[in-house]
Chain A
Amino acid sequence: MTALVSRADGRRRQRSHMGKEMTSAQTLSWFAGHELRLAWRDWATMMAGGRTSRERLVTVIVLMMVAALHWLAFAILKPVLAHGVELDVQTLIVLSATMLTSFSMMLSQAIEHVTRAFYARADMDLILSSPAPARHLFTVRIVSIAMTGALMSALMLSPFINMAAVLDGPRWLSAYAVIAALSALSTGISLVVAMALFRWIGPKRTRLAAQIVAAVVGAALLIAIQAVAVMTYGNLSRLSVLTSPALVAVLPDVSSLVWIPARAMLGETGPALAMLAGCLALLATAIATHADRFATLVIAAAGTSDDVQENASRKRPYRSFTTAQALRAKEWQLLARDPWLVSQTLMQVLYLIPPALLLWRDMGSAESMHIILSPVLVMAFGQLAGGLAWLAISGEDAPDLVATAPVSLTAITRAKIESVLAVVAAGAAPFVLAMALLSLWGAVVTTLFTALASAAAILVQLWFRSTAKRANFRRRQVASKAATFSEAFSSVFWAGAAGFAASGSWYAVGFVALALAVLPITWWIRPRA
């Protein structure tokens, strides 16, 4: 009786909160509308910094870029589609591998996003303390992850899909169904992975473990194919593996069900719709199975932030530090104690595995290997410097303390830059030393251009400095697209310059000029406030 009364009270409360009683579908659509509005405002702010006039400018620029990409896709596809696509096993292998690589990246993103849904604090206290069913919010958030993943991939591929449809008929539009299916599948699998991690290792470790799993999943396939290419063919090209006669010989012929995703991508509507239906059903099942545990896990995840970590009893006496030493020691100590941040920062180093293999395989034998390795190392350590520079320069958790210390801003900045460069140097040193055994010139070039790429990445972070919590490291790339693109262009150009310099080509000068040109442009577009 008491239970009945309290349930009735609960229903009455829900009614009074929402004005009238909502059906499940209405609650779902209400949550969806709410999420959509927040997502849109978030995106608009991210792109335009909240200024309406800039929103219009951004829209115009995006439309111009979309038009340019469509033109490019048209130019590329016209000669290809004029001869028709030959449906042989080799084409299907290359396409399937490309789709699988894209899928692994989608899966990686989805694992991160799904796990983050359990740890996001922003509005959870409000929603979980309301009578609205948490499983509805969960459903909306998971579906929105799937839709966002599909949308991002579709946006990237849309110029090619649209132009293929224009040139060769609307059947090519079925590729959109394949993208949606892959995104639904990756989200469904991510949900299962996240739930399994919660069950096996508990909420305290799930976040870090999920991040590592995501990184490994995202990079594993690409690295594995490259590793096979390195070990078998002595180069980093995936095509040498995918187009090898040995692989073609062991795989089934074109009529096999294995090739359904590739055939769907090539414009076969039936397989595309079948894939979409199957993947959506899988996602729906995963959501239905786990939705009821959402609130419990969110609450458990929230409890982990209150976990107390005791440092080993203090034996070491205080040391006298100069300001610079204190700042450097603090940066290194914070970095060493944050495995989540370290794993975020070191993700890029995962991609160094294939070149490291190449180094190991060709140590002392290949004379031109430094030409391939040098740009890879410059790129990776340039990116690493950018990430660390953000942590040191913008990710200051006690900005008031540092700003009120009797030290000049220049001295603070210098100490922070030194702490970044020391970590980059420590990371790059083993690779450079190994390369010196292969080619002294390659080692010199790698050292020089790693230093230049790191300096450029640090400058970008200095010009785009903003106060942020270190925990918001993930958001640094969405917080300023301009900084992200500048950093990326800078790394690419310095890497290019390193490659040409390593080969002794004068083209290196051109790339150096391009890399240097990025800096004044970045300075010009930096935030003025």
Chain B
Amino acid sequence: MTAPTPTSPALEIQDLRKTFSRPAVDGLSLTIRRGEFYALLGPNGAGKTTTLRMVAGLLNPDAGAISICGIDARTDPIEAKRVMAWVPDEPLIYDKLDPMEYLEFVAGLWGMDAQRAERQARDLIRVLGLESKASTRCNGLSKGMRQKVALAGALIHDPALIILDEPLTGLDAGSARQVKAVLKERVAAGATVIMTTHILDVAERMAERIGVIANGKLLAEGTLDELRTRTGRDGETLEEVFLTLVAETSDEAAAA
């Protein structure tokens, strides 16, 4: 059993590879520091979700190394999972449980103390605006509400690394603001957030560093300013920068 080391990066990926019918992730390397808000961007089919699913232990890589807070996720997945949370784009929760019961179950999976778990659950329910639905079975909740319940489940055990795949899809403006506020608060408290999103405005405003991948490879990485410099698009929005980067790859692929 490995203990998390305080000085090691929140996530370190080296030469990660996964092939289905074609390479989905092709020698990807990433280092994400502790307490960082990191946005992983890429066009559809770029390999974002595959990468994050491998990090979360939901998919076995063909090759490469994954280290979470200094824990080798491939040799010690249980300890790695203990400090991590995963929120998929589709909120898969139990229809027949209400949000409080769902959170109690998640707390049980992470072996939390009951009193602490209940306190955390009530806080999350309040912060995410779920109080009126706390005793409503999840099959009666809207997609946005379910997404917030799934997020609460991810946060209840205070993970050091929070991985979110398209967390804002299907949320109304008010809910999106609540989710963003909660995530920012977690980052301020020292947690690391890695998020994929197609809403580039959100990535632009929230992420400290941005990684752009396409065809399973990292195209560019850095702060927004660094990416602007890299693409020669000073003063432009992230959307322009992103499209330039992706277009470069398409051109290179076409030329090859």
Q: Which chain A residues have a beta carbon within 8 Å of chain B's beta carbons?
A: 305-314, 317-323, 325-327, 329-330, 333-334, 337-338, 397-408
**B86 adjacent to A404 (CB under 8 Å):** yes
Given A318-B107, A322-B108, are A397 and B94 also a contact pair (CB < 8 Å)?
Answer: yes
Q: Would B84 and A329 count as touching, CB distance under 8 A?
A: no
B113 closest partner in A (C-beta): A320
- In the complex, A404 Cα to B106 Cα: how many Å? 11
Residues of A within 8 A of B178 (CB): none
Residue of B nearest to A336 (CB): B96
B97 touches A405 (CB 8 A): no
* CB proximity of A48 to chain B, nearest CB, Å: 20
A322 contact set on B, CB distance < 8 A: 108, 111
Closest to A317 in B: B118
Which residues does chain A contribute within 8 Å of B153, judged by CB atoms? 401
**Contact of A314 with B134 at beta-carbon distance under 8 Å, contacts A309-B139, A330-B105, A398-B92 already known:** yes
Distance in Å from the Cβ of A458 to the closest Cβ of chain B? 22
Do the beta carbons of A333 and B97 come within 8 Å of each other?
A: yes
Residue of A nearest to B111 (CB): A323
Bound complex: CA of A212 vs CA of B79, how far in Å? 47
Q: Assuming A308-B136, A309-B139, A405-B110, is B94 touching A398 (CB within 8 A)?
A: yes
Minimum distance in angstroms from B249 CB to a CB of chain A: 30
Known A321-B108, A401-B153, A403-B57; judge A314-B100 contact (CB<8 A).
Answer: yes
Chain B contacts with A in 154-176, Cβ cutoff 8 A: none
Please report the C-alpha to C-alpha distance between residue A403 and residue B97 in the assembled complex, in whole angstroms: 19
In the complex, are the beta carbons of A402 and B134 less than 8 A apart? no
B101 within 8 A of A: yes
Interchain Cβ contacts under 8 Å between A and B, 29 examples: A309-B137, A310-B137, A311-B101, A311-B137, A314-B134, A317-B115, A318-B104, A319-B114, A320-B112, A321-B104, A321-B108, A321-B111, A323-B108, A326-B105, A326-B108, A327-B108, A333-B101, A338-B96, A397-B93, A398-B92, A399-B92, A404-B58, A404-B81, A404-B84, A405-B106, A406-B82, A406-B109, A407-B78, A408-B78
**Given A398-B93, A403-B58; A310-B136 close (CB under 8 Å):** yes
* A271 and B136 alpha carbons, distance in the complex (Å): 58
Using Cβ atoms and an 8 Å threshold, which residues of chain B touch A325? 108
Total interface residues in chain B, CB < 8 Å: 43
Q: In whole angstroms, how far apart are the Cα atoms of A515 and B162 in the complex?
A: 48
Question: Given A321-B108, A322-B108, 18 other A-B contacts at CB below 8 A?
Answer: A307-B140, A308-B137, A310-B135, A314-B135, A318-B114, A319-B114, A327-B108, A333-B96, A333-B97, A334-B96, A334-B97, A397-B93, A400-B58, A400-B88, A401-B93, A403-B56, A404-B85, A407-B109
Cβ-based interface call for B117 (8 A):
yes
Question: For A323, what are the chain B residues with a Cβ–Cβ distance below 8 Å?
Answer: 108-109, 111
- CB of B12 within 8 Å of the partner chain: no
Q: Who on chain A is nearest to B84 by CB?
A: A404
| In the bound complex, CA of A307 to CA of B137 (Å) | 10
Q: Give B102's nearest chain A residue, CB to CB.
A: A398
Contacts of A338 in B (CB 8 A): 96
CB distance from A205 to the nearest CB of B (A): 16
- Residues A334 and B84 in contact, CB atoms below 8 Å apart: no
Residues of A within 8 A of B139 (CB): 305, 309
For the complex formed, measure the closest distance between the CB of B85 and the CB atoms of chain A, giving whole angstroms. Answer: 7
A401 to B81, CA, bound (A): 11
Q: Which residue of A lies closest to B59 (CB)?
A: A403
Please, how many angstroms separate the alpha-carbon atoms of A398 and B81 in the complex? Answer: 16
Q: Does B94 contact A402, Cβ atoms closer than 8 Å?
A: no
Q: Are B114 and A317 in contact (CB under 8 A)?
A: yes
User: B136–A318 contact, CB under 8 A?
Assistant: no
CA–CA, A309 to B95, complex, Å? 10
Residues on A with C-beta less than 8 A from B36 are none
Contacts of A397 in B (CB 8 A): 92-95
Could you say which residues of chain B place their CB within 8 Å of the CB of A401?
92-93, 106, 109, 150, 153
B98: interface (CB < 8 Å): yes
The answer to whether residues A313 and B110 also contact, given A404-B84, A404-B85, A406-B81 and a CB cut-off of 8 A, is no
B39 within 8 A of A: no
| Shortest distance between the CB of A303 and any CB in chain B (Å) | 12
